[in-house]
Structure 1
Amino acid sequence: MREKTSPSSGAVPWLVRPSARSWHCAPAPAEVRKFHASLPGYTPTPLTELPPLAEELELGRVFVKDESARLGLPAFKVLGASWAVHLALAARTRGPVTLVCATDGNHGRAVARLARLHDRRAHVFVPQDIHPDTAAAIAGEGAAVTRVPGPYEEAVRRADEAARAPDAVLIQDTAWEGYETIPGWIVQGYSTLCAETDEQVAAAGAAAPGLVAVPVGVGSLAQAVVTHYRSRTTTPGPALLSVEPESAACLLASLARDAPVDVGTGETTMAGLNCGTLSSTAWPVLRAGLDAAVTVTDTDSARASRDLAALGVSSGPCGAAALAGVRALLTGDGAGERRERLGLGPDSVAVLLSTEGMAANPHSLP
């Protein structure tokens, strides 16, 4: 069953799917976490409890997974890129290799950093509206940066073309027909974030989460989150909520139609979520195992970013979207019905995935 609530009479654009928690899948490989733990400088990112948010949202406990400093970079993307580059280079034992990708920021910087650490070249394609400081950060890692006259999807197309050279390999965090293996490795890499969260929630003496909120661009992180929680067969698991910019809500549109939908994207400060096409491998997992989807505005994410900063958590617009989405559902007109549909009560535990720090996104507001 699916239901979409229209954005009228104080309601919010959202969709809920009660059957999602009955779906199960295979887990990510256990060796991913072992690989990350072996990297120099690895340490789990903080899981910060924020009682003021629990009070505001009328929940038992609220935690924020803070990805503002992950392996020396200000976002979670290096988890997926490092695992994928490790496997890709292991398969290319001879000759020079150039790592190629498209990005709207954090993924490209992660690939560029890994290329430098592995003494390889990197070529990163970026959309025309990328912030100059973001492009400069990627170039500062030693990568060649090509600005494409078009949106993110055009940058992906150009990167794919460039990666057809014999000495190049495409390290892209979105999949399409015929290109699934490396994006699958990237999704596996994100599983470390989920495993850390489990351990940290337990260490805090909290009950298992009743709600996990994840920002969505092409859907790869959400795919990892759904895979992690729906690979458990002993418990129904938490409600899993996706959050997108209202100007780039390809997942919400796809769930509403029950088929992949490409959408035109507009301008948004949530640059890392400004994607109009879902990863082809993410879609079937999200269709089957995601409980709910919601969209938020730039104003919503900016407010959430400021509020998290005041509570000691550095979160850019993309990362703060998780809080903005939970606020949209759990406060205001109709909140009681939405809580009931998600199975949330006053003792429920929520985990918000803050995927980037303010330093990752020049659009962040003070």
Structure 2
Amino acid sequence: MSRIRVLLNPLASASPVDAGPPGREPLEFHRRLPGYAPTPLMDTPRLADSLGVRRVWVKDESHRLGLPAFKILGASWATYRALEEHARERLGSGFEPWQSIEELKEKVEHLKPLTLAAATDGNHGRAVARMARLLGLRSRIFVPSEMVRARIEAIESEGAEVVVVDGTYDDAVARSAEEAAERCLVISDTSWPGYTSVPRWVIEGYSTILWEIDRELERREEKGPDLVVVQIGVGAFAAAVTRHYRAPGAPSRPKLLGVEPERAACMLSSVEAGHPVQLPGPHTSVMAGLSCGTPSLIAWPLVSRGVDVFIAIEDEWAKEAMRELARSNIVSGETGAAGLAGLLALLKSKTGAEARKLIGLNEEASVLIFNCEGATDPESYARVVYGANKAVSENP
């Protein structure tokens, strides 16, 4: 199959990367949102047999709070924190106490008119738009020119104004930053000089996934994973995973494998250089959620010191992983399947035996993989998995 790039991280540190996870405040916040429920942690014996390990768990984020991806966790917590800070500046107080989204909406009413803006390659922007709709606010979402129509329509279905930017995701980020104003809050999952609080809150929001996994494994009386595979775009989700498993006093210290598209391997390239670098576009990949050319400045210190091995893969690996997950009855889009894709690519490479040692895999190992999105482009999913043009519903 197509080529891969592998990097054993020369910057990885044996010491904790920072003060640790943000506590369970994001989890308690998410429990107050309509439709909250922990997503499944699926035991997939077929994948375990295929990979030659004892256990493979897939945290299935194909349905989360009514959306087909995990991004709503970061977007909702960051939106809440940004709105509360805005309320303190304008009104002199925050939002507590509140128990339901209706009560929170009433408190936000005093901030209107107000717009939420974001750049996106699909899922984050839709999540921001969903939060705006739930709270009775306007939303304006900036997208790169290569975004497929299905994802644009999904964002528009939340009542958002979608602005197509002539350029890459990075260009859309730059354009969204210009929206910041008294009546417009930018809710970005990446950071730049002078803009760090919101993307830090996005990373905190993703911690809910990790707490759910810990609780479920404790319920099953299972020890933690030996290997965790995480997708990397700008690095926000990878930062949350790194922060959780590299925290002081963490119950286990698994190996961390970070996966990126070959044409958008901004984190791998930055680690090679020893500092954040910007890759020139276009960053074309079917793994649209990972097609980013610049690491988040907030994510960089965590990911660059915490991830053990980076791998950059071409698109065919993601398609193979989508089909492999479908055989385990898991619906996964191209970005959602990228974690498994990276692991398959590594183990099937010419140095597969050496790679196993590199990431500590043996027949007794347990592996954690994240399916971070469902079929967000239903027609593409059908073509890849079934070789057909029939669409697959993205909703439960």
TM-score of the two chains, using structure 2 as the length reference: 0.86
Is structure 2 residue 230 aligned with structure 1 residue 214?
Answer: yes
Q: Which residue in 2 is equivalent to 1:81?
A: 75
TM-score of the two chains, using structure 1 as the length reference: 0.93
Is structure 2 residue 184 aligned with structure 1 residue 168?
Answer: yes
Matched length: 357
8 A Cα contact 2:129 2:155, kept in partner: yes
Q: Give me the whole-angstrom Cα distance separating, in 1, the residues matched to 2:36 and 2:352.
A: 40
2:79 partner SS: helix
The one-letter code matched in structure 2 to 1:13 is: R
* Larger mean Cα displacement after TM superposition, 346-355 or 18-27: 18-27
**Structure 1 residues 136 and 339: CA distance shift in structure 2, 3 A:** same
Q: Which residue in 2 is equivalent to 1:3?
A: none
Pick one of 13, 28, 36 that aligns with 1:34: 28
List per-residue Cα deviations over 1:9-37 (Å, max 9, x = no partner).
Answer: x9841112384443342221321111111
8 A Cα contact 1:330 1:336, kept in partner: yes
Pick one of 277, 285, 290 that aligns with 1:268: 285
Pick one of 249, 260, 263 that aligns with 1:244: 260
Cα distance, 1:286 vs structure 2: 1.0
Unaligned runs of 5+ in 1: 1-6
Is structure 2 residue 105 aligned with structure 1 residue 112?
Answer: no
List per-residue Cα deviations over 1:42-94 (Å, max 9, x = no partner).
Answer: 00111111111111111110011111000000000000011011111122333
Cα distance, 1:236 vs structure 2: 5.5
Q: Which residue in 2 is equivalent to 1:4?
A: none
8 A Cα contact 1:269 1:363, kept in partner: no
Q: Which residue in 2 is equivalent to 1:180?
A: 196
2:206 partner SS: helix
**Structure 1 residues 110 and 159: CA distance shift in structure 2, 3 A:** same
Pick one of 271, 279, 301 that aligns with 1:255: 271
Cα distance, 1:234 vs structure 2: 5.5
* Larger mean Cα displacement after TM superposition, 204-213 or 284-293: 204-213
Pick one of 57, 61, 66 that aligns with 1:67: 61
User: Percent of aligned positions with the same letter in both sequences?
Assistant: 44
Pick one of 47, 56, 61 that aligns with 1:53: 47
Q: Give me the whole-angstrom Cα distance separating, in 1, the residues matched to 2:83 and 2:250.
A: 37
The one-letter code matched in structure 2 to 1:346 is: E
8 A Cα contact 1:213 1:242, kept in partner: yes
Q: Which residue in 1 is equivalent to 2:308?
A: 291
1:145 partner SS: strand
Q: Give me the whole-angstrom Cα distance separating, in 1, the residues matched to 2:132 and 2:250.
A: 41
8 A Cα contact 1:11 1:333, kept in partner: no
Q: Which residue in 2 is equivalent to 1:22?
A: 15
Cα distance, 1:195 vs structure 2: 0.9
Q: Give me the whole-angstrom Cα distance separating, in 1, the residues matched to 2:197 and 2:293.
A: 22
